[in-house]
Amino acid sequence: MNAVRLRRLTALAVAAMAALALAGCAETEFLVNTAKRTQQEPVPQQPSAVGRYKIGTPYQIEGNWYYPAEEYDYRETGIASWYGPGFHGRSTANGESYDQNALTAAHRTLPMPSVVRVTNLENGRSIVLTVNDRGPFARGRIIDVSRRAAQLLAFERNGTAKVKVEILPDESQQIKLAALNSPEGRREQMQVAAAPRGIVASEPLPPVTGGADTQIARAPATRTPPAPRQAPTVAARTTPPPQAPPALSDKVDVLPVSPTGIYVQAGAFGRLDNALRMRDRLQTLGSSHISRTSSANGDLYRVRVGPLDTVDQADALLTQVVSCCQREALIIVE
């Protein structure tokens, strides 16, 4: 009887230990999975209230290279889009907090911040915006404006508009200085002072002896004591006073506009024979033609298809041109 009870107690103990082991494994697996989720989920960074001045290095999106630069004579026509609720409160490319109700914009290559005037070529409405983000990265768009800007330019409902974008050089350079002199900009410009160099003592070399038959008498060497160490002098750095950013107008100007057309430009070539070959390749896609224009490097021959009636038609044709002929093709308005 005692032996039977002993076997039962032993079985119960083994079962309890197995249960504890399974529970331990389950708990361990739970902790491991939790750790993986914790590592995979990035911790959101708090955007800065004041953005830093940034140009950036060349980058590639979907096979296209973009080269950010200070370009104070920038002027371009094309298609604008807008972005809003899904990005509200997130950090922009230069560290500001995106506000869909502010008059800002995203551009692929202009410095951040810089100031541009955007004119809707369909109704003449024109406003001034601050570039503080990168984009748009959809083909066929030259600028992404905030939701408020799209409302003032009267294309929020349509989603896109034919626009002219031109940089304002004076305001752009003023806002650059304001960003560089902001607390954020100063922190980035701080340099670590070089460590003071030690003082090196010099002394004559010992006498040089010749061969077995020759010896040159030398005066006994005298050791020059090193000069006393002095603390390195650090020039006082004057901190420039903060510079206020330019006061940008938030009013809408209405400018005169002329009728415009939408084209897909396959390329601009320095040689006419290259332009003719491209035009022939595009014949099956629509009415292609060559126009000549002058540039600082000589004449350019632009190969275009159009005019087109809508942005949707231009988007569809652009996709075809990129697929068959020219990756760098773009939509222009003229």
- Local structure of 319: helix, strand or coil: helix
Q: Over 80: is that where the pLDDT of 200 sits?
A: no
Q: How confident is the model at residue 64 (pLDDT cuts 50, 70, 90)?
A: confident
- The closest of 307, 301, 306 to 277, measured between CA atoms, is 301
pLDDT of residue 152: 98
Q: Over 90: is that where the pLDDT of 63 sits?
A: no
pLDDT of residue 76: 96
pLDDT in tens, 208-253: 555 444 444 444 555 555 566 665 555 555 555 666 778 888 899 9
Cross-strand partners of 130: 104, 115
Q: Rounded to an integer, what distance in angstroms lies between the CA atom of residue 226 and that of residue 202?
A: 8
Q: Rounded to an integer, what distance in angstroms lies between the CA atom of residue 267 and that of residue 330?
A: 8
Domain 59-178+248-254 falls in which CATH fold? Barwin-like endoglucanases (2.40.40)
Taking every pair of Cα atoms in the chain, the longest distance, rounded to a whole number of angstroms, is 115
DSSP-derived letter for residue 101 is: T
Q: Rounded to an integer, what distance in angstroms lies between the CA atom of residue 165 and that of residue 62?
A: 24
pLDDT in tens, 120-179: 999 999 999 999 999 998 889 999 999 999 999 999 999 999 999 999 999 999 999 999
Domain 262-333 falls in which CATH fold? Alpha-Beta Plaits (3.30.70)
Q: Spell 272-305 as b/e; 16+ CB within 10 A means b.
A: eeebeebbebbeeebebeeeeeeeeeeebbbbbb
Please indicate whether the domains covering 59-178+248-254 and 262-333 agree at the CATH topology level.
no
First to last CA, the chain: 104
Q: Per mean pLDDT, which range of 55-64, 199-208, 257-266, 305-314 is the poorest?
A: 199-208
pLDDT of residue 215: 44
Q: How confident is the model at residue 265 (pLDDT cuts 50, 70, 90)?
A: very high
Q: Where are the chain's structural domains?
A: 59-178+248-254, 262-333
- Higher per-residue confidence, 199 vs 111: 111
